[in-house]
Each structure stands twice: as C-alpha cells, then as structure tokens.
C-alpha cells in the first residue's frame, strides 16, 4: 500500500503509489495526530452550483465548514498556529487564493443548511411563519414558503414538524439569508420525489450572479440535475479524504461510477458501479410455475382522520416490490399493515404459510436498541454469520456499510446515520420470509445505497422470499424493483395504493404526474432528469415516454 492507511488498503494497493509526498503539499486540514486528514478542496464558482460526491466519512462536511469560514484549516500542521496569510500563500495561483483572501478579510458570509436537521428544533422556538420572517434578510422567505408548500403549516410549531417539513423550512430560511456562499449539506433527506425536484429548481434559480453554491448530495439523480460541476471526494472513510479536480457534472458522475478519475489518473474503486438492472430469475414451484407468495384484498385503513385504500394485489416469491409516492400518503401505514402492526377496517392478507417478517421502520432512534448492547451484539442476535469475517453477509453487507469499524460501540451511542445502517444490516441479516424496508437509503451514501440494493436483490433471489421497499431515490428504486406500487391521493387526508405495476409503467405514471421526464445516459445507462423545456423533455412528453429505459 501507500502507507497512508492505518487499516487494510481500500484500493488493494492499486494505483496509489508514490502519492504521499505529492499529496502532503495538498494537505488542507488534520483534526489531530492520528485523526482524519483532508487533502485539497472543492473550488466554489460564482453563479454556479458545485456538487460534492463521495462516501460518508471522507470529509465532505469538513470541506464545507472550511469554505464557509466556520473552520480555519491548519494545512495538516498541528504543532503551531496557522494564520490565513499562510493559507492564502498555500493556494497561490489557484482560484482558492482569492477566496481565502475574502475569508481572511471577513468578506465571505455563508448561509449553511446543515446535514442533520433533526437537531434544529432544539435551538429554535416558534411557528413556521415567525421563523421564516426572522431569517428573511432578502424579502423572499414567504414567497419561498409558498413555493415549498409551507404556507399551509405557517402556524405550526417547529417542534411538531415532520422531517420533510423541517427540511423545507431550513432550506427556505437558508436561501432567505443575505450571503456570498450558500451551502446545502444533503438537502434531499426526508423529501419525496416531487419535493426534491422542486427544491432543486428553487436552488438552481437562485444560483446566479456572484453567489457561490455548494451541494453535498447522495441522490444521484438530484445531484446530477442540480449541479454544474462536481468534485469527487475519495479515500478511506474516517482516515483521509482527497478532493478531486472539478469535472462537468455528467462526466464527473460517470467517472465516479466507473471508479476511475482521468484528470488525476486515479482508480478509486476496484469495480464500477452499474445501474443496469439484472432481471430477477422467475422462481418456479414443483410444477415449474412461478407462484404467488402473498396476496391482499381491497384494504381500507383509517389512522385518525387519514384514510388509505389499497387495491388488491399479490407478490410472487423472489420478487421485490417498490413503493413510491409523496410524503404523508400512507406508505408507512401500508408497510405497518403488512407487518401486522395495524389492523385494517376491511380486507386482509392471504399467505400460504406463516411468514417470518423482518422490518426496518422509517424512523430509527436509540429506543430501537436494547440498552448496553453493542453493534456486534445486535448483529450477532440478528444472524451470527453476519459477524464472521469473510462470510458473505460480512463482506457484502457489514463491511460495505463500514459497520465492522464500530463493533464495540454501544448501539444507542451511534449517530443517526450509523443507527440507520445498523438497523438495515440487522433487518437484512435476519433469516426471514418477508422483508419490509421503509426508506432505507436515508442518510446513506451512494455506495452504501447500492450495496443494500444489491443485497436486497440477492437475498430475495437466493432465499426465494419477498421484499417491499419504500424509497424516494428513483435510481435506487428503479434498480431494486421488479414491480412498483404507486401511491397517490391527497397527502395527510386520503391515500390510494394501486396494484403493483411493471417498473417501467409505474415510473412512467409517476413522472407524468410530476410532469418530468427522464432519459438514460448514453455511456453509463443511468437515469438522468431532463431540464424542463429542453429538447429531450419536449420530445419525450410528446411521445408520452416520460421514463426512457434505453
């Protein structure tokens, strides 16, 4: 290896040779002697949206804090203070020189939407409208509130907001500030597809003139739609991260997926990430026919003043069913019904044997885990095989989610994102007949999302069982689903779940309701959202082909 890594070389020593000396000149920040180290920085560009793409723990938030002027970088020097003069000198000749001059002269004001918005209500008091008005230095807050559909909940206290409502409030407040750089750390968390597109359009619309915009985002369709340029951060999570040169967004994302960065001549992953779908083998019974695994009648469920109607449907064994629809439309209610946690007013589930259910609820908190249990304990209880190094589950699930690095930690002490990964790993490790996953990709990075998507497909195929997955990341949803249940109706009041449809049909319907079109990238085959009014957008709309599959 190159000697940089404390643990096993994540690249299997491929291509990282002779890097250390060159790289040391690029050191931007180090937290402590054996602490995480960041090399190089993204370059903000006036009037443009610059995206940042990379694994969790490789320094995205650290880089953002430095560019926001919230963290003074120490250039990796720990034994003395480093002043901005020295920092400016270090970036001499690059665009960052002027940028740091401005930071040093306090000429950069940053508006920063933090990653973990769950913490926000603890620091704020009041209703949505009052908070928006308070943030409103540009006189646009109430207009943004309307565009984000917050006007219906203007008198609601901030402590009673759902994750999506809170996210939209914080985004509107951030944009309402008078600032030089606007930063959005994972803006799509908790938002449904329509809201993700809506927020992207609003941000793109603001990114003009002299303002800088930086976005960290793991929903690739959103990052692609929103950004003009991207920087890729690669490295060893928790140990070091290296920021790449800027790439145009299409090429940059394709390079990232390929696992090779041409400008730096660097292989960042052994295998490419491929979103081309592997059709699941149809599983047959003794008479050589696929068989129904689970069926449900027309079902009605009431939850307070909310009502959900579900059209009757069935699932074949080995099939993965995607669930998509706006927030507050009854997706979680339906999953809880499948889990047997909610009794319907009418209708029922028909199964052909007793099904063992493994369920990951949407919201994961410390109360999910028994006090005193470590990550390793929880995984061992789910399935002892999962903690045996070199077992399939260990290699493909535990290691891909980086959980092996936190075996000794108490489950309850983990961060929100880490708890989410533990809950997913425990759910997928368990031997079950029916897997229910409610929004698994929340807080996960692109590689973690793909890892669990692959696991879900493999498990259902090998064990000939079934999974239902509610998901707002359309690339992941497309990848895992054999068929999709589309939910529509009036959020918060009435929901209607359709019969599971062929993935292409369901996506086409969803997108035509949202009035957006998706094409396929000619090289990687990944879905890309067309810009509104572009040639392809108009062409696909005339043809009624909202979701292109080739």
Sign of CA dihedral 80, 86, 88, 94: negative
- The answer to whether residue 332 forms part of the interface with Mg ion (CB under 5 A) is yes
What are the backbone angles phi and psi of residue 206, rounded to the nearest 5°? -85, -20
Please select the residue that binds ligand ADP; options are 42, 57, 73, 489, rule is CB under 6 A.
57
Q: Which residue is nearest to Mg ion (CB)?
A: 332
Member of 125, 134, 303, 356 binding ligand ADP (CB under 6 A): 303
Tokens of residue 493, six digits: 């009041």
Residue 330 C-beta: closest distance to ligand ADP, Å = 4
238 interacts with, out of Mg ion, ligand ADP, none, CB within 5 to 8 A per kind:
ligand ADP
Region from 77-85, 324-332, 407-415, 530-538 binding ligand ADP, contact rule CB under 6 A: 324-332
CA distance 374 to 376: 5
Inter-residue contact 241 to 233 (CB < 8 Å): yes
User: Where are the strands (E) in 418-526, listed by range?
Assistant: 434-438, 466-470, 483-490, 494-497, 501-502, 518-520
* Nearest partner of 55 among 272, 216, 286, judged by Cα: 216
**Site membership for ligand ADP, residue 333 (CB under 6 A):** yes
58 in contact with ligand ADP (CB under 6 A): yes
Question: Contact with ligand ADP (CB under 6 A): which of 10, 42, 51, 59?
Answer: 59
Of the residues 163, 259, 492, 525, which one makes contact with ligand ADP according to CB under 6 A? 492
Size of the site for ligand ADP (CB under 6 A): 23
Is the four-CA dihedral 151, 114, 220, 402 of positive or negative sign? Answer: negative
CB of 338 to ligand ADP, least distance (A): 12
CB of 527 to Mg ion, least distance (A): 23
Nearer to Mg ion, 280 or 362 (CB): 362
Question: Which of 479, 360, 335, 364 is closest to 430 using CA atoms?
Answer: 360
Per-residue HEC secondary structure of 220-247 comes to: HHHHHHHCCEEEEEEEECCCEEEECCCE
For ligand ADP, the closer CB: 376 or 438 = 438
The piece of 93-101, 258-266, 358-366, 442-450 that touches Mg ion (CB under 5 A) is 358-366
**Shortest distance (Å) from residue 240 CB to ligand ADP:** 9
Query: C-alpha dihedral over 46, 52, 58, 63, to 10 degrees?
Result: 20
- Residue 90 or 472: the one with the smaller Cβ distance to Mg ion is 472
Answer yes or no whether residue 362 interacts with Mg ion by CB under 5 A: yes
Residues engaged in binding ligand ADP (CB under 6 A): 31, 35-36, 56-62, 238, 303-304, 306, 325, 327-333, 492
């Amino acid at each position: 290896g190159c000697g940089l890594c404390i643990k096993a070389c994540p690249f299997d020593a491929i291509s990282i040779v002779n890097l250390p000396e060159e790289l040391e000149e690029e050191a931007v920040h180090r937290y402590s002697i054996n602490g995480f180290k960041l090399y190089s920085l993204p370059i903000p560009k006036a009037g443009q949206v610059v995206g940042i793409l990379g694994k969790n723990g490789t320094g995205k938030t650290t880089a953002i804090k430095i560019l926001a002027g919230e963290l003074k970088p120490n250039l990796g020097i720990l034994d003395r203070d480093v002043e901005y003069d020295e920092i400016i000198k270090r970036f001499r000749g690059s665009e960052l020189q002027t940028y740091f001059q401005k930071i040093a002269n306090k000429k950069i004001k940053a508006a920063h939407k933090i990653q973990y918005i769950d913490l926000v209500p603890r620091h704020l008091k009041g209703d949505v409208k009052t908070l928006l008005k308070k943030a409103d230095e540009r006189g646009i807050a109430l207009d943004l509130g309307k565009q984000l559909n917050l006007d219906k909940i203007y008198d609601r206290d901030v402590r009673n907001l759902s994750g999506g409502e809170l996210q939209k409030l914080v985004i509107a407040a951030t944009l309402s500030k008078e600032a030089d750089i606007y930063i959005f750390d994972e803006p799509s968390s908790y938002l449904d597809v329509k809201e993700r597109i809506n927020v992207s359009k609003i941000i793109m619309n603001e990114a003009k003139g002299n303002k800088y915009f930086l976005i960290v985002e793991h929903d690739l369709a959103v990052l692609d739609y929103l950004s003009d340029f991207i920087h890729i951060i690669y490295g060893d999570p928790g140990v070091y991260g290296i920021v790449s040169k800027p790439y145009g967004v299409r090429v940059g994302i394709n390079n990232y997926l390929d696992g090779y960065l041409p400008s730096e001549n660097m292989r960042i992953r052994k295998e490419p990430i491929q979103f081309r779908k592997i059709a699941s083998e149809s599983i047959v019974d003794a008479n050589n026919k696929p068989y129904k695994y689970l069926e449900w009648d027309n079902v009605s469920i009431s939850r307070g003043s909310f009502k959900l109607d579900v059209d009757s449907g069935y699932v074949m064994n080995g099939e993965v069913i995607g669930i998509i629809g706006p927030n507050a439309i009854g997706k979680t209610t339906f999953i809880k019904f499948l889990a047997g946690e909610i009794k319907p007013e009418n209708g029922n589930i028909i199964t052909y044997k007793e099904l063992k259910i493994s369920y990951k609820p949407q919201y994961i908190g410390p109360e999910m885990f028994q006090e005193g249990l470590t990550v390793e304990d929880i995984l061992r209880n789910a399935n002892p095989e999962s903690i045996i190094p070199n077992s399939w589950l260990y290699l493909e699930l535990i290691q891909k989610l980086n959980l092996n690095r936190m075996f000794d930690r108490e489950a309850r002490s983990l961060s929100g994102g880490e708890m989410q990964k533990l809950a997913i790993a425990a759910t997928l490790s368990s031997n079950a007949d029916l897997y229910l996953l409610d929004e698994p990709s929340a807080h996960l990075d692109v590689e973690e999302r793909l890892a669990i998507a692959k696991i879900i497909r493999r498990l259902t195929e090998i064990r000939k069982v079934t999974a239902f997955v509610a998901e707002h990341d359309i690339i992941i949803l497309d990848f895992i689903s054999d068929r999709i249940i589309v939910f529509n109706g009036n959020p918060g009041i009435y929901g209607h779940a359709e019969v599971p449809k062929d993935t292409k049909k369901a996506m086409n319907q969803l997108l035509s309701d949202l009035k957006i079109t998706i094409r396929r990238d000619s090289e990687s085959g990944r879905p890309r959202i067309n810009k509104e009014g572009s040639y392809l957008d108009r062409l696909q709309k005339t043809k009624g082909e909202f979701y292109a599959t080739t």
